Chains A and B, each alone.
Chain A
């Protein structure tokens, strides 16, 4: 009901409340991932489209289409909403344009901290931050007398205790789906152990060491406390597990907290769902998590008129105080005027604990891909940790050689 009211109010006042940005021509076509905060962001930018053509593609498969679509000349999309990792292939292939001139001309409300600069040039404008952090069931932990875990060792101990009590068989959940998700969990845990993926100043891999082994062993311990189907579970699947009350501790994206805490689903579970910062691991003091930003980039292979129109519309959203006030629940906005609410605890804690951003390196995608498929057999118990790490490095090296990084 509340949703309907909000939507209605939005429809009535939304259109008149926002000033038209006076865009006379051009065409705007945006490619973006698909989650609520991005939809809000794109909708907000649409309000100021003026006479420009406005199209948007929201897809969870955005990574697969971005490079081919932006390589075409003129490119299919005039803008791409990217993140730390997905901006890299666009940079590698030189597919996005510097935004300095546009920021100077139209970027009045954008804060300096929002600008992603590479080599002194503005390549993207960030508008929200994201990370993976802990969610816990307050009722279960209280019943069992368990304190909110601060480290993954405590997460393991707490989950084992819950399992021993017979309350839940698989008390822990994280997105361990083979491929991108699983690799992301490795990246988090490895960074938590203080690992560096590459030997300094080169593209040589550097994961087959004590830190890598500790990372794998921790992932294995956690996977044994998860639903046996964990290798097929992505963020959406573990969200469903959580909402069915099968899980007491979970590592999940901050941007999903909105859907976990909304009015849908069992109110008792929603009420007991609480957020905490990301956990540390192995006695380290930085969290086993990576910080992410989401921001917009403009395609290089598009006319100046289109870039103008697209930038103005998107900048309107990226500096919109009303949007961040209305949608404070959906994300941790980096936009001026954002007042963090209870759903932002995860990201704010992560920043306070000095979490590292996801490594924005040209060869990182290859490492991420190799991790996603080569550590599966270790988790299934078919292979030793050393062998798995050796496989990752070997798979990475072949790919990096083909791509000319080594």
Chain B
């Protein structure tokens, strides 16, 4: 396609992307550098059905004057980024000086909300992404090998986890692993421990969410791989069979190299999706044991009666940076291959 045609072809999408993705990100970025103005409070008498007390309220007249003068708030620079609820620079320095062993230091750091969330998010990505690729590939290969007649229903059954809304899917599993649910009660029986709970143990909650993630995302990998498998040329495969190559050798030397670009694509999308893990945490009511970066943003925006826009914006920007870092190796590689191909 000539560049000019491509430009006109891409223009509407590009404009929409700038309007609905680019500008909001810029606005979020600006917001993250601001904090609320100092609250001006005054002492007043408050009366309710249970009696009167003297207590403080925000002085709205004074506050609205400052707000009108500077609607964005107080410029805070990287203040929000470095505070305890985010990168916690000061705290980490302090821990480094105070703690004696590395493990004690790591203990202290992982107790900070941002790092706690980051570790869960990365663990989730590291376990879910490869397993999704592997499982999706195996399912695609096996389905590709079964008789054509039953392939349709099988494919439908396989992509079911993706059709089910994430929240519903996780709720179903949530009830099954309840200490009185079918899985939870059976595990208690099996382990002979009536106090065992999948939901109260941190490790078990993590495992549950990761398994759920693999179950939910595999169909996506499967669908893409299955489509790619249809394009594998038959001649080299037949030639390999004649040469006596085993099934494993055929997959390794012919199929995999052929669908390699697709694998990269699925890995990229999966990584991005998994880094933003959110719904299962809500679905499993796992806020106590597992927090992800996306959950932190959600928590800042809705979970408190006071909305923390600055905090939420800072975490959003850091999530974007995180995704960029994760994707960098794959992107660089793709770029290099693209250059070589030209």
Hey, which bits of chain A sit against chain B, CB under 8 A?
63-64, 67-68, 84-86, 88-89, 91-92, 94, 113-120, 126, 129, 169, 177-180, 182, 227-232, 291, 293, 334, 351, 357, 359-363, 365-366, 368-369, 372-373, 376-377, 380, 382-383, 387, 391, 394-395, 397-399, 401-405
Q: Smallest Cβ distance from B93 to chain A, in angstroms? A: 15
Q: Smallest Cβ distance from B308 to chain A, in angstroms? A: 6
**Interface residue from A85, A377, A382 paired with B305 (Cβ < 8 Å):** A85
6 contacts between A and B (CB under 8 A): A94-B63, A117-B46, A118-B45, A368-B304, A402-B311, A404-B74
**Interface residue from A84, A362, A366, A401 paired with B35 (Cβ < 8 Å):** A401
**In the complex, what residue of chain A is closest to B52 when comparing beta carbons?**
A117
Q: Smallest Cβ distance from A117 to chain B, in angstroms? A: 5
**In the complex, what residue of chain B is closest to A112 when comparing beta carbons?**
B47
Given contacts A366-B306, A395-B85, 18 further A-B contacts (CB under 8 A): A88-B305, A89-B306, A113-B49, A119-B42, A119-B44, A120-B44, A129-B49, A169-B194, A179-B287, A232-B284, A293-B48, A360-B48, A362-B56, A362-B58, A369-B306, A376-B289, A402-B35, A403-B35
Measured between beta carbons, the chain B residues less than 8 angstroms from A89 are: 305-306
**Interface residue from B48, B76, B91, B179 paired with A84 (Cβ < 8 Å):** B48
Known: A64-B302, A402-B80. A228 touches B49 (CB 8 A): no
- Docked Cα-Cα span, A10 to B304, in Å, equals 39
Known: A119-B45, A373-B287. A91 touches B57 (CB 8 A): yes
Give the residue among B41, B50, B179 with the most A Cβ atoms within 10 A: B50
**Interface residue from B196, B288, B307 paired with A178 (Cβ < 8 Å):** B288
A231 near B288 with CB under 8 A, answer yes
How big is the B interface, by class?
A: 35 or more
**In the complex, what residue of chain B is closest to A241 when comparing beta carbons?**
B180
* B199 sits at the interface (CB 8 A): yes
Measured between beta carbons, the chain B residues less than 8 angstroms from A394 are: 84, 91
Measured between beta carbons, the chain A residues less than 8 angstroms from B50 are: 129, 291, 293, 351, 357
Q: Smallest Cβ distance from B47 to chain A, in angstroms? A: 5
Interface of B is mostly: loop
A369 near B200 with CB under 8 A, answer no
B74 near A372 with CB under 8 A, answer no
**Interface residue from A120, A293, A361 paired with B56 (Cβ < 8 Å):** A361
B308 near A402 with CB under 8 A, answer yes
B55 near A360 with CB under 8 A, answer yes
A404 near B35 with CB under 8 A, answer yes
Q: Smallest Cβ distance from B207 to chain A, in angstroms? A: 16
Chain B 15-59 interface mask (CB, 8 Å, partner A; 1/0): 000000000000000000001111101101111111100011110
Known: A94-B60, A120-B45, A402-B310. A180 touches B111 (CB 8 A): no
**In the complex, what residue of chain A is closest to B38 when comparing beta carbons?**
A404
Q: Smallest Cβ distance from B170 to chain A, in angstroms? A: 12
Q: Smallest Cβ distance from B61 to chain A, in angstroms? A: 9
* B273 sits at the interface (CB 8 A): no
Measured between beta carbons, the chain B residues less than 8 angstroms from A405 are: 39
- Docked Cα-Cα span, A366 to B300, in Å, equals 10
B44 near A118 with CB under 8 A, answer yes
* B178 sits at the interface (CB 8 A): yes
Chain B 276-301 interface mask (CB, 8 Å, partner A; 1/0): 00000000111111010000000100
* B303 sits at the interface (CB 8 A): yes
A398 near B287 with CB under 8 A, answer no
* B195 sits at the interface (CB 8 A): yes
B49 near A229 with CB under 8 A, answer no
**In the complex, what residue of chain A is closest to B34 when comparing beta carbons?**
A402
- Docked Cα-Cα span, A84 to B306, in Å, equals 14
B111 near A391 with CB under 8 A, answer yes
Measured between beta carbons, the chain A residues less than 8 angstroms from B307 are: 67-68
Give the residue among A229, A380, A383, A394 with the most B Cβ atoms within 10 A: A229
B39 near A404 with CB under 8 A, answer yes
Q: Smallest Cβ distance from B293 to chain A, in angstroms? A: 14
**In the complex, what residue of chain B is closest to A300 when comparing beta carbons?**
B60
B57 near A118 with CB under 8 A, answer yes
* B238 sits at the interface (CB 8 A): no
- Docked Cα-Cα span, A357 to B49, in Å, equals 9
**In the complex, what residue of chain A is closest to B301 when comparing beta carbons?**
A64
B39 near A376 with CB under 8 A, answer no
B83 near A401 with CB under 8 A, answer yes
- Docked Cα-Cα span, A194 to B303, in Å, equals 27
Known: A92-B306, A169-B194. A229 touches B58 (CB 8 A): no
Known: A119-B44, A365-B305. A94 touches B37 (CB 8 A): no
- Docked Cα-Cα span, A365 to B286, in Å, equals 22
Measured between beta carbons, the chain A residues less than 8 angstroms from B38 are: 404
A369 near B179 with CB under 8 A, answer no
Known: A357-B48, A373-B299. A232 touches B196 (CB 8 A): no
Scan residues 301-324 of chain B and give those whose CB is less than 8 A from a CB of chain A: 302-308, 310-311
B48 near A362 with CB under 8 A, answer no
B36 near A403 with CB under 8 A, answer yes
- Docked Cα-Cα span, A359 to B48, in Å, equals 12
